């Protein structure tokens, strides 16, 4: 209860400050009342969804995600506005104190300056405000096909030009637009890749979230097969279960769902992909993540049936596994495919110029292709979304990777 009181007090203070900026900029009362009404509705909806709502006992349900998304939008607007106005208030306070202490008689007031700063503050605050709303309306389904070509000295000749499509972090429990998902599945199939590799997090919490989408994802096609692994959300660790048996049943249901979709689910296992006499090893580990995430991944077990000298592709959901374990392993993993970070669903990317997201402060390898010690990793930005029900600047991704044999001439 105390947490809610503190939260509501802080929220109210931010809204009050932003309201003062509105009153400085415009004299129309309907603007103030509209802002107050929207701010109040967002607060009441957020409190309701996280306390008494139908999904109050579940983590990351769709109504709660939208409640959080709208709250994030207005708080971002308020904070940016407050930063500008607070700096002005601080300046006025210090200047006024100086004049009083040293006998100044002139009243220190700049109403025009205050109005100008309020207009600047609200103009700047409107940019992320609009972007966050756009991210919820359109950005979350703004699917991008990102293509990469990677060269290797020891790629078996028959696999020169072999094409992989990677998708990751579906989070089907967040979906709310069937046409957009069907479009994305068609987009995956249009790539006509040799294999489709899915690197975990099919659901947010429970296998039942995937039931309405099973037939849609079953339409995925690849000439040499479809393979998958589990991500941290697939184990059902983020919801409360009445019994451990129910939790185990949920995981088994999810595994069976993946197989019904047509995925060959790799649980610390490997497969050989063969072309004539040449072959490459596909290795899939269960989730292994730094910082409290499940560590079920077992590279030793997963590679029992392959040779150390094989050309290897590893599927591992969390890129911290690659950083902490994989690149220093005795086996050389030519290419690792991960996801997990979502690129935080927020950032700025201008190819060749800027690549930034707050998630970089937690994950060194957070989006795209990286190379260390002669080994590559692709961190997929994710197919779906979680928490904030949108994406801004970091769009949903379908990765297409072509393997090439490096020319010896």
Read off the CATH number of the domain in which 271 is found: 3.60.21.10
CA distance 255 to 244: 17
User: Tokens 């077990």 belong to which residue?
Assistant: 301
Regarding whether 54 and 165 lie in a shared domain, the answer is no
What Å distances lie between residue 364 and 158, 318, 338, 341, CA to CA? Answer: 34, 12, 13, 11
Regarding whether 156 and 78 lie in a shared domain, the answer is no
CA distance 298 to 310: 18
Regarding whether 310 and 391 lie in a shared domain, the answer is yes
304 close to 271: Cβ distance less than 8 angstroms:
no
Q: Considering 114, 137, 160, which residue would you say is the last residue of a domain?
A: 137
Regarding whether 159 and 83 lie in a shared domain, the answer is no
Q: Considering 121, 137, 153, which residue would you say is the last residue of a domain?
A: 137
Regarding whether 164 and 45 lie in a shared domain, the answer is no
What does the pLDDT profile of the chain (409 residues) look like in tens digits?
788 999 999 999 999 888 888 888 888 888 889 999 999 999 999 999 988 876 655 566 788 999 999 999 999 999 998 887 766 666 555 556 655 666 555 554 555 666 777 788 888 889 999 999 999 999 999 999 999 999 999 999 999 999 999 999 999 999 999 999 999 999 999 999 999 999 999 999 999 999 999 999 999 999 999 999 999 999 999 999 999 999 999 999 999 999 999 999 999 999 999 999 999 999 999 999 998 899 999 999 999 999 999 999 999 999 999 999 999 999 999 999 999 999 999 999 998 899 999 999 999 999 999 999 999 999 999 999 999 999 999 999 999 999 999 876 5
Regarding whether 120 and 60 lie in a shared domain, the answer is yes
Of 266, 254, 280, 270, nearest to 403 by C-alpha is 280
Q: Considering 77, 102, 137, which residue would you say is the last residue of a domain?
A: 137
Regarding whether 376 and 260 lie in a shared domain, the answer is yes
Regarding whether 180 and 101 lie in a shared domain, the answer is no
Total number of domains constituting the chain:
2
Range of the domain at 61: 2-137
326 close to 314: Cβ distance less than 8 angstroms:
yes
């Amino acid at each position: 209860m105390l947490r809610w009181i503190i939260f509501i007090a802080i929220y109210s203070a931010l809204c009050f400050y932003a309201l003062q900026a509105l009153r400085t900029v415009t004299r129309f009362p309907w603007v103030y009342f509209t802002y107050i009404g929207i701010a109040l509705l967002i607060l009441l909806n957020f409190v309701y969804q996280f306390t008494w709502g139908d999904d109050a006992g579940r983590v990351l349900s769709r109504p709660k995600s939208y409640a959080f998304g709208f709250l994030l939008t207005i708080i971002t607007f308020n904070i940016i506005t407050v930063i500008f106005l607070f700096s002005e208030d601080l300046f006025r306070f210090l200047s006024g104190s100086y004049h009083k202490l040293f006998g100044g008689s002139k009243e220190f007031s700049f109403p025009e300056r205050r109005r100008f700063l309020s207009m600047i503050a609200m103009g700047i605050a409107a940019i992320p405000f609009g972007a966050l709303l756009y991210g919820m309306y359109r950005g979350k389904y703004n699917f991008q096909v990102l293509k990469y070509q990677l060269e290797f000295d020891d790629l078996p000749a028959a696999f020169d030009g072999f094409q992989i499509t990677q998708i990751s972090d579906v989070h089907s429990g967040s979906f709310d637009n069937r046409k957009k998902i069907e479009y994305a599945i068609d987009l995956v199939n249009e790539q006509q890749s040799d294999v489709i590799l899915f690197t975990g997090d099919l659901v947010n919490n429970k296998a039942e979230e995937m039931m309405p989408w099973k037939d849609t994802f079953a339409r995925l096609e690849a000439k040499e097969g479809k393979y998958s692994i589990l991500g941290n959300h697939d184990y059902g660790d983020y919801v409360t279960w009445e019994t451990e048996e129910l939790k185990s049943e949920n995981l088994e249901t999810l595994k069976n769902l993946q197989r019904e979709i047509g995925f060959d689910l790799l649980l610390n296992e490997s497969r050989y992909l063969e072309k004539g006499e040449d072959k490459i090893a596909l290795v899939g580990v269960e989730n292994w993540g730094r910082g409290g995430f499940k560590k079920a991944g077992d590279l030793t077990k997963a590679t029992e049936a392959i040779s150390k000298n094989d050309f290897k592709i590893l599927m591992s959901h969390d890129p911290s596994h690659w950083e902490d374990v994989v690149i220093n392993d005795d086996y050389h993993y030519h290419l690792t495919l991960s996801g997990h970070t979502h690129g935080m669903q927020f950032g700025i990317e201008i190819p060749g110029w800027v690549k930034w997201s707050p998630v970089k402060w937690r994950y060194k390898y957070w989006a795209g292709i990286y190379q260390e010690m002669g080994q590559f990793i692709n961190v997929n930005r994710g197919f779906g979304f979680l928490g904030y029900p949108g994406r801004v600047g970091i769009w949903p991704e379908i990765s297409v990777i072509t393997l090439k044999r490096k020319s010896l001439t």
